[in-house]
Structure 1
């Protein structure tokens, strides 16, 4: 039991929390639950450390966005947001604050499990082919331990940001489509009006700029993004 990945469910709907928790448990995960933003922050300040957080945005008191804002950047635990259908502004805000992905409520438990597994795979178990150090234009990425530096300055990247940058660095000078990045980073197809990759790239650019690297990721209008080579 102690070796099972620990998922923290944060939702004020206790019945829904219990249902999702039962499904995750049946799929081989350990589950903790918090029914308010404040109780989630209290739980996250104590051991054992969870491997992923499923966070409802709409909660009384401290909302999921409030929790996320307080959590980042000191805590890099992956976060999947649960949002109301059509709440595009909340989704974008959540991604800008450092969430890794989102699902609209009511969510399909099978889809949630698939997202959880995908995020845990890319954050905890990099494949052997991804172990080598990437070094492009003053940016260094170590996939083996999920460490990143820009001009020697450590970068605090979320799992989704790290993997977005990794894909771009694996193909310097080549345009990567948003569809390809979505498949590689989020392990799902790109859907209409999905701005997840755009927001992740925006945050990467900001963090690189703070470290002294500017304009290294070029937007290719209507297609995707390209990491410029040093040449």
Structure 2
């Protein structure tokens, strides 16, 4: 079956362009012009991915994102005419998988959709994923993380940081989000606390793979685990 893509966009011209580009590339696009229609369609049949315009006439796109995720956890690509950094930060903090400002290239957007679907793909029910080499292996039972097969000597907070980053490679986690997820009392900690722990975490990972830069800094936003880490280190 063709992957179903739900487009939530109130401008017919943009929606037509998106539908054509997606259909030509093997997807099954479904268009909704309002948030309420999107909620109805989403509940009736869960799509593989949602392309969501922030500026809808009836519901704010960020609010609609939250309501959709109450129904099902589906990847979302935000689409907006606004290019303010704060909008991008809010979208990423909510958990969006990508963010594309208008005007955009339809071919680039389709490529991003494919990239997000690959990144978020889950094994089909009843199947067992084949074992594969991964650069980061998290063992929650032992509270241990291996980097290219070597166990890292991590503090409690370093463990929490790397576990969080490794849960979604490529996703940018803001400092506030990392504080909330990792620290017991985030209100008593500062952004500099995250920066300091990321620095020591990088140093420990560099001991294993000096040539790699596994944790990427996104200025004004936060941190992300690199998506392009090789599955194994060269011999």
**Does the pair score TM above 0.5?**
yes
Kindly state the Cα deviation for residue 100 of structure 1 after the two structures are TM-superposed. 1.2
Kept after mapping to 1: 8 A contact 2:173/2:224: no
Q: For residue 16 of structure 1, what is the aligned residue in structure 2?
A: 14
Structure 1 residues 204 and 8: alpha-carbon distance in aligned structure 2, compared to 1, 3 A threshold? farther
Query: What SS does the aligned partner of 1:129 have?
Result: coil
Kindly state the Cα deviation for residue 125 of structure 1 after the two structures are TM-superposed. 5.8
In the aligned structure 1, how far is the partner of 2:167 from the partner of 2:143?
Answer: 14
2:169 maps to 1:165: no
Correspondent of 1:59 among 53, 56, 60:
56
Aligned positions of 1:102-181 closer than 5 A? 102-124=99-121, 128-130=132-134, 134-135=138-139, 138=143, 164-166=165-167
Kindly state the Cα deviation for residue 134 of structure 1 after the two structures are TM-superposed. 2.4
Structure 1 residues 203 and 44: alpha-carbon distance in aligned structure 2, compared to 1, 3 A threshold? farther
Correspondent of 1:203 among 177, 180, 187:
177
Q: For residue 220 of structure 1, what is the aligned residue in structure 2?
A: 199
Correspondent of 1:4 among 2, 8, 16:
2
Kindly state the Cα deviation for residue 87 of structure 1 after the two structures are TM-superposed. 2.2
Q: For residue 23 of structure 2, what is the aligned residue in structure 1?
A: 25
Structure 1 residues 226 and 30: alpha-carbon distance in aligned structure 2, compared to 1, 3 A threshold? closer
Q: For residue 145 of structure 1, what is the aligned residue in structure 2?
A: none
Kindly state the Cα deviation for residue 111 of structure 1 after the two structures are TM-superposed. 1.2
Kindly state the Cα deviation for residue 73 of structure 1 after the two structures are TM-superposed. 4.9
In the aligned structure 1, how far is the partner of 2:179 from the partner of 2:69?
Answer: 17
Kindly state the Cα deviation for residue 42 of structure 1 after the two structures are TM-superposed. 1.2
Kept after mapping to 2: 8 A contact 1:83/1:91: no
Larger radius of gyration: 2
Structure 1 residues 36 and 133: alpha-carbon distance in aligned structure 2, compared to 1, 3 A threshold? same
TM score, norm. by length of structure 1 = 0.62
Structure 1 residues 223 and 19: alpha-carbon distance in aligned structure 2, compared to 1, 3 A threshold? closer
In the aligned structure 2, how far is the partner of 1:6 from the partner of 1:67?
Answer: 19
Q: Unpaired segments of 5 or more residues in structure 2?
A: 124-129, 146-162, 201-214, 218-222, 226-235
Correspondent of 1:43 among 27, 31, 41:
41
Q: Unpaired segments of 5 or more residues in structure 1?
A: 141-161, 168-183, 187-196
Kindly state the Cα deviation for residue 129 of structure 1 after the two structures are TM-superposed. 3.2
RMSD: 3.8
In the aligned structure 2, how far is the partner of 1:163 from the partner of 1:18?
Answer: 38
TM score, norm. by length of structure 2 = 0.61
